[in-house]
Structure 1
Amino acid sequence: MSSSPIATVKRELLVRHLEAWAPAALHRARRVIYAHGYADADGGVSAEAAMRVLAEQSDLVRGRELIMVATGDDLGAIDPRLKTISAESGAGAGLAVHTISGGTDGRLPVGLKAVGAQRVPVLGFLDASGSEPPAPATVAALTAGKPSEMLLVLPPGSSASSVDAYRAGWPLFTQVELADSEEPGELLVYATTAGKSLEGFKEALWSVDEFAGVRYRDPGDPERHLIDISLTPHPGPLRRELLAHLAQAGEATVTELRTFALTETVYRAADATRVLHTLVDAGTVTRRPSHGRLGGDVVISA
């Protein structure tokens, strides 16, 4: 059982994201799929936490299908615990859990196909921080959903090239390092096919409770600055990344820079707006037109 501060942050982030995703998905479709890979990696603690969130949707599940597919090396001890939570939810046959032992790489794509995950809302959570990372094909199997989302955790020190291998099929893709020291931390990747879902993930990212010593690091920050978890995060790394982006691009609209912050950094679009105001006020960048509201069509130049 994993009880480290980083493990606690990951579970809280998963729970917060599920609490927002599940009701929205059930309003959108009659069948909804949640896939939990490496379910035995932490003794089933994260899988149970996820199952409890799904069980809370009992009122919304009636007349629909909310299915959890859990895979791992050996789920013999976890299966009855998950099914007990499902049975006690009062959701009846609408809430179901399928546990598949034999490894996530070999079983998750097969399990998704078996429960009919094509063209229905799908969310996948794969915490491979303590094992071999999944094959790109395993992650790509989640993109059969419409819309689809993924939370993937990779071991400390994962290279940029290894992360890029998972981008196929995901139009929106971002990552954040979870660290408790100057050493490389676990890498949390979030990918989605829907822009609003990315905004929701970023809000959850910065609103989780602070746990002893756990901070974020933006993989794109050359100075590897550690950022405290806060609703108003330190703007230093974002300032550096926006200026580096402008130095390369020459100029960009406020909308383009907000999108850059949302998709290419750990920050939110609103954080970019705040930083741009300070950069303009300080004369570090110029704007066109030079006066008026800092709207989306205002052009910012290095």
Structure 2
Amino acid sequence: MSERVRRPDPHLAVKREVLVRYLDAWTVSVLRSHRSATYVESGTTVFADAFQVFGEFADRLDGHHLDMLIVGPETGQVMVGEAPAGLSVRSVADPANLSVAGPALAYLDVVDSALTEQDAWQLVTSLARGRAREVLLALPAAEQTENHRERLRAAGSACMVTVELVADDGRAQLLVFATGDSKHLATFKNELWAVDEFAGIRYRDPLDIERTAVDISLTPQLRPLRRVLLAELARRGSCTVAELQQHTLLETIYRPADAIGALTAEAAAGGVTREPVKGRLTPRTVVGHIE
């Protein structure tokens, strides 16, 4: 009788795919704009994936330097294959000894690595002291969302998204991305929703009062977003679609383009006013709250 094959953890599968997808975009960006950059990772959970991504850019590394740092207790000696010219790999056992210059992206997972939350937040604070610094955090679902948003803002990351990864059995983890560049936040969200929708994970916005879990899809369910936009519109009275798209980007798990779909549905249902009253909604369209 063959041994039953253990199914991979769905949380880890989604985290790995999100990271790989964003690493592709991030690497292109930093190699185009900078001569050097650093990728920091806690432990070796997804190290092979990141190493493979950077290897695919070997032809673009000429004249550049990309540093991979594996940080945290029990890291030990990092074993890798042949690294392309321009890519170096090293380990740092004590997070307090980490020093980074130039742009950096850190993937810090305190659920599936030996890194503690205290060390993770110490690294976030340290890494944020510079331009073009970004962090992707995996945290226990019990972590207070507002608390970590405040900590990230204090560290210098003005743009962020927090999404709960909810498995079929109800287990959840938090995935947090923070950056100082709203365009990079938009890029991350595009990759977030492009993940394999059959991974056994749904997304949930920790700030959603109804705690609705949404299937991963390029065309996701928008009801939670409609609630958020109606609440924001009630607060403002009226505003342009572009302003609500910006609110969507900075305050929800959704993409700016999703705001168009949500507002179009609300306008068709008579839930908001719009000016002009006909035609497709555009960023310049003004929508208003109905009492």
Deviation of 1:294 (Å): 2.3
CA distance in 2, matches of 1:215, 1:160: 18
CA distance in 2, matches of 1:255, 1:158: 32
- The answer as to whether partners of 2:41 and 2:71 remain within 8 angstroms in 1 is yes
Bigger share in helix? 1
**CA shift in 2, pair 1:209/1:248, >3 Å:** same
**CA shift in 2, pair 1:231/1:293, >3 Å:** closer
1:97 aligns with 2:84: no
CA distance in 2, matches of 1:57, 1:141: 28
Q: Which is worse superposed, 67-76 or 161-170?
A: 161-170
Give me the CA root mean square deviation.
2.1
- 1:2-17 maps to which residues of 2 (within 5 A)? 3-17=8-22
Q: 1:290 aligns with which of 255, 277, 286?
A: 277
**SS of structure 2 residue aligned to 1:294:** coil
CA distance in 1, matches of 2:125, 2:243: 28
Deviation of 1:158 (Å): 1.2
1:141 aligns with 2:126: yes
Q: 2:144 aligns with which of 137, 145, 159?
A: 159
CA distance in 2, matches of 1:71, 1:212: 28
Which whole-Å deviations, capped at 9, do the CAs of 1:126-154 have from their partners, x for residues lacking one? Answer: 11125642454421222234322211111
CA distance in 2, matches of 1:163, 1:45: 23
Q: Which is worse superposed, 62-71 or 184-193?
A: 184-193
Deviation of 1:192 (Å): 1.1
Q: Which residue of 2 aligns with 1:218?
A: 205
Unaligned runs of 5+ in 2: 1-6
- The answer as to whether partners of 2:140 and 2:174 remain within 8 angstroms in 1 is yes
**SS of structure 1 residue aligned to 2:106:** strand
TM-score under structure 1 length normalisation = 0.86
Q: 1:124 aligns with which of 106, 131, 134?
A: 106
Letter in 1 for 2:87: L
Unaligned runs of 5+ in 1: none
Which whole-Å deviations, capped at 9, do the CAs of 1:276-295 have from their partners, x for residues lacking one? Answer: 11111211001234345423
Q: 1:26 aligns with which of 25, 31, 34?
A: 31
Which whole-Å deviations, capped at 9, do the CAs of 1:159-205 have from their partners, x for residues lacking one? Answer: 12432222220121111110114746111111111122111111110
- The answer as to whether partners of 1:157 and 1:184 remain within 8 angstroms in 2 is no
Identity, % of aligned positions: 40
Deviation of 1:63 (Å): 1.3
- 1:180-191 maps to which residues of 2 (within 5 A)? 180-181=167-168, 183=170, 185-191=172-178
CA distance in 1, matches of 2:111, 2:288: 40
CA distance in 2, matches of 1:301, 1:112: 49
- The answer as to whether partners of 1:68 and 1:97 remain within 8 angstroms in 2 is yes
- The answer as to whether partners of 1:220 and 1:241 remain within 8 angstroms in 2 is no
**CA shift in 2, pair 1:301/1:182, >3 Å:** farther
